[in-house]
Structure 1
Amino acid sequence: MSNASEVLANARKVTRPTSLEFIREIFDGFIELHGDRCFGDDRAIVGGIASLKGRAVTVIGVQKGHTIEENIKRNFGSPNPEGYRKALRLMKQAEKFGRPVVFLINTSGAYCGIGAEERGQGEAIARCLFETAGIKTPVISIFIGEGGSGGALALAAGDRVWMLDNGMYAVLSPEGFASILWRDPSKAGEAAELMKLTAKDLIKNGVIEKIIPEAPEGIENNLRFTTDIIRESLINEFKVLCAMDKDELICKRYERFRKFGEFEE
Structure 2
Amino acid sequence: MAAGATLIHPSASIDPAARLGAGVRIGAFTSIGADVEIGDGCVIGPHSSITGPTRIGRDNHIIGHAAIGGDPQDKKFKGERTELAIGDRNTIREFVTINRGTGDGGGITRIGDDNWLLAYTHVAHDCRIGNFCVFSNNSTLAGHVQIGDWVIMSGFAGVHQFCRIGAHAFLGMGVLISGDVPPYTMVATEAQGRPRGINSEGLKRRGFDAERISAIKRAYRTLYVAGLPLAEAKQQLAEQARDSEDVRALLDFIESGERPLLR
Look at both structures and tell me which one has the larger radius of gyration over its CA atoms: 2
More helix by share: 1
Q: Check whether TM > 0.5.
A: no
Q: Which has the higher strand share?
A: 2
TM range (shorter): under 0.3
Structure of higher RCO (CA pairs closer than 8 Å, 6+ residues apart): 1
TM norm structure 1: 0.25
